[in-house]
Every structure is written in structure tokens, then in C-alpha cells.
């Protein structure tokens, strides 16, 4: 780290405030669950779920970049970590969720809910 001796305390508290606000927003949405966001659907799931996922990714960015100090690492070191993880995670999640959807389509008609 080039700027090893200066203090980043102010920035740390700033990031903490942002992460806290995001968590509070998530919890409020999770408790209220407005029908217009909860019962509608875009791109395969409800807008509410997309909000949660985007806020989560934003929190992950905050933790990695500020707390884990990814922003201070060399560009290609950062990329070797972030690109690898992001690519492989997207890959496995896509395959698994497609497969899960297929299992539901196949299984659900065979499940008995009438007695």
C-alpha cells in the first residue's frame, strides 16, 4: 500500500453508514412487501427480489472495495480475484437455477395436493 500511513477513519465510518442504511432499507421493504413490487414480475422474479439482489451486490462491493481494501490493490491482482469469482459464480448459479426450474416443471404436475 502506497499511502500506508494516512488514516482512513472518516471514510470507514462513511461506508459503515451506507451499509447500515442499505440494510435498514432492505428490512423495511422485507416487512412491508408492497404488493406492486412483491406480486408483479420482471425477468423471472418480482421487482422486490431484484431490489434485494442489487442492494446486496452493492453492499458486497462496499465491503470488498473499502473494508477489504480492494481499491488499493494492483489492477490485475484485483481482476484475478474479482473476475474469476464473478464469472464462476454467475456460471454455476445460471445452470443451477435453470435446472431447478426444469425440475419444478417436471415434478409439480406429479405432486398430489388433492385428498
Partner 1 sequence: MGATIAVNSEDKNTWSGGGNRPFGASYGKMMMWFFIVSDALTFSGFLAAYGLTRFKFIDSWPIADEVFTHFPFLHGVHAPMYYVALMTFILIFSSVTMVLAVDAGHQMKKKKVTIYMFLTIVGGVIFLGSQAWEWKNFIKGSYGAVQTTDGKILQFVTQDGVNEKGEKVFHQVALTDFVVEAHEERVTHTRKNGLWNESGETLPTYSVNEVVSSYNSNADVLIRIEKMDLATKQKIVLSKEEGARYLLNAKQVVEGANLHVNEYGNPIFADFFFFITGFHGFHVFSGVLLNIIIFFNVILGTYERRGHYEMVEKVGLYWHFVDLVWVFVFTFFYLV
In the complex, the residues that contact partner 1 under the rule CB under 8 A are 1, 4-5, 7-9, 12-13, 16, 19-20, 23-24, 26-27, 29-31, 38-39, 45, 49, 52-53, 56, 59-60, 63-64, 66-69, 73-74, 76-77, 80-81, 84-85, 88-89, 92-93, 96-97, 99-101, 103-104, 107-108, 111-113, 115
Could you tell me the smallest distance in angstroms from the CB atom of residue 42 to partner 1? 14
Could you tell me the smallest distance in angstroms from the CB atom of residue 43 to partner 1? 14
| 43 or 111: CB nearest partner 1 | 111
Could you tell me the smallest distance in angstroms from the CB atom of residue 80 to partner 1? 8
Q: Helix, strand, or coil here: 103?
A: helix
Contact at 8 Å (CB) between 46 and 39? yes
Determine the Cα–Cα distance for residues 63 and 91; give it in Å rounded to an integer: 23
Contact at 8 Å (CB) between 108 and 101? no
What are residue 43's phi and psi, to 5 degrees?
50, 45
What are the cell numbers at 99?
435446472
Amino acid at each position: 500500500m502506497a499511502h500506508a500511513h494516512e488514516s482512513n477513519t472518516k471514510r470507514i465510518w462513511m461506508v459503515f453508514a451506507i451499509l447500515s442504511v442499505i440494510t435498514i432499507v432492505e428490512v423495511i421493504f422485507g416487512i412491508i412487501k408492497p404488493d406492486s413490487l412483491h406480486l408483479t414480475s420482471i425477468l423471472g422474479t418480482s421487482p422486490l427480489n431484484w431490489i434485494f439482489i442489487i442492494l446486496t451486490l452493492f453492499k458486497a462491493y462496499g465491503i470488498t472495495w473499502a473494508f477489504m481494501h480492494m481499491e488499493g490493490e494492483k489492477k490485475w491482482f484485483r481482476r484475478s480475484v474479482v473476475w474469476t469469482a464473478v464469472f464462476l459464480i454467475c456460471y454455476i448459479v445460471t445452470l443451477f437455477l435453470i435446472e431447478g426450474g426444469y425440475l419444478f416443471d417436471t415434478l409439480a404436475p406429479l405432486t398430489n395436493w388433492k385428498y
